């Protein structure tokens, strides 16, 4: 079966093309995700595209936000 979307422009609200595990660290991500999935609930300390640091408390499930960093101080895990 051919890929219908092959060669089509991906937009901000397009689904992701691949998934990868993210380990919280005090350095910028090498790939900026379209959204995050938090598998095990906890707090996430993120740096957004503007450089603003924000703590989301008690997060689990989908976080529809592009981030450049998830700090090591985050307690959530199983982040994709």
Residue 3 has pLDDT above 60, yes or no: yes
Instruction: Name the DSSP class of 34.
Output: S
Q: What is the helix (H) or strand (E) element at residue 41, kind and residue range?
A: strand 36-48
Residue 62 has pLDDT above 90, yes or no: yes
Annotated domain spans of the chain: 36-79
Query: pLDDT tens across 15-61, in order?
Result: 777 899 999 999 999 999 989 999 999 999 999 999 999 999 999 99
Spatial CA neighbour of 44 closest among 58, 30, 31: 58
Put simply, whether the predicted model's pTM sits higher than 0.85 gets the answer no
């Amino acid at each position: 079966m051919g890929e219908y979307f092959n060669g089509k422009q991906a937009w901000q609200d397009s689904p992701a093309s691949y998934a990868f595990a993210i380990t919280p660290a005090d350095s910028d991500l090498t790939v900026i995700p379209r959204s995050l999935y938090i598998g095990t609930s906890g707090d996430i300390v993120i740096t957004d595209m503007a450089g603003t640091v924000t703590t989301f408390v008690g997060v689990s499930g989908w976080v529809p936000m592009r981030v450049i960093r998830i700090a090591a101080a985050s307690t959530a895990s199983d982040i994709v």
